Structure 1
């Protein structure tokens, strides 16, 4: 029972997004929480990013993006998502973007203890991934555009991982005016499912073991009965 309690308390872990030439047209959605300096998730800070791979040409991966601030202003907490970021494997040579998040930075530090990220996309040209200014999307709003990741030599496949967002202009949370968000789940339009929480996987395994032991116990009992009547 102690193991079950620990397992269910474990947060979901989103798997990396793996892309190749067969992924053009696929969409991927990443959901985020909000936190400060490695602390627990803060109620009222939530957002969601959808990336759609539209083309792979001449070593350039091009995506449409749509980022929604899913926080609800009616809970008394408001925020602005000023940017998003992720890591790539292999490393990109350069990145460009248009639309709401039309500015990019590479190999820049992300706040709240996250550290260096390969690339970030921002609503303001601030010179760092920490964000600033007044751009981005507020509660209930959505920002859209396109982004491109450039490589000197086109990789046969590309991995996107470690997704983050940046919250600013926060009100309604005592002592917090800015925060970051980490990916908590990811889904794919190409038939992928929500990444299960590790706790749920453990619970499933324990349930299978319980069924197996139960069946074994019933088998032993039946054997004893047959011996008794022999």
Structure 2
């Protein structure tokens, strides 16, 4: 939803999808996709999105439509401080930047959340986005939105193994294959004797 000065502005909407693509020794890497679904005679530009992270992140990077990041910044319209903000344009804060995604368009990219050491799990919460260049809403030209999670595979989902575990699994499977081949060779020699 979108709101400015405590008033909801019907029609300001967007949808974001975050897909965990890998876990590194110090971070979590996500593919993201954000679609500006503003409707009802309004047009807007989603210039940034933000959320909070538990445990505390030490850094963030991003590519694609929202390639600029800011940590521990104030989000507009009374939201307050957020842990990380991903922006379409360069600025020192989460408000008043350029770039982003226009009504009906989708912006995609990859974002990395860095930690002092990779935690076994993380929680993303308190999702927000920033609407700018709004037309069709009277005198309102910028607003913020509060997100809700509509589906999540965080509980009962498939855990992503650490990179070292994939190597160990590969060695184990190769070893099993060698043992099996050896047994077949021994069995065929015995049968021939």
Same fold by TM-score greater than 0.5: yes
Listed as ranges, the matches of 1:15-54 within 5 Å are 33-39=1-7, 41-54=8-21
1:83 maps to what in 2? 48
2:116 maps to what in 1? 152
Give deviations 1:106-162, integer Å, cap 9, x for gaps: 0000000000000000000111011322x1111110000000000011111101000
The Cα shift of 1:38 comes to 3.2
Give deviations 1:62-100, integer Å, cap 9, x for gaps: 00000000113xx32110000100000111000000000
Change (3 A) 1:113 1:102: same
- 5+ unaligned residues in a row in structure 2: which ranges? 157-193
The Cα shift of 1:189 comes to 5.2
SS in 2 for 1:126: coil
Conserved 8 A contact 1:101-1:136:
yes
Listed as ranges, the matches of 1:161-200 within 5 Å are 161-188=125-152
Change (3 A) 1:80 1:115: same
TM-score by length of 1: 0.65
SS in 1 for 2:138: coil
CA RMSD in angstroms comes to 1.5
The Cα shift of 1:48 comes to 0.4
The Cα shift of 1:37 comes to 3.0
Listed as ranges, the matches of 1:12-161 within 5 Å are 33-39=1-7, 41-72=8-39, 75-133=40-98, 135-161=99-125
Give deviations 1:182-207, integer Å, cap 9, x for gaps: 01342125788xxxxxxxxxxxxxxx
Q: Which has the higher contact order (CA 8 A, sep 6+)?
A: 1
The Cα shift of 1:35 comes to 0.7
- 5+ unaligned residues in a row in structure 1: which ranges? 1-32, 193-230
SS in 1 for 2:4: coil
Conserved 8 A contact 1:124-1:131:
no
Change (3 A) 1:131 1:55: farther
* Bigger shift: residues 151-160 or 100-109: 151-160
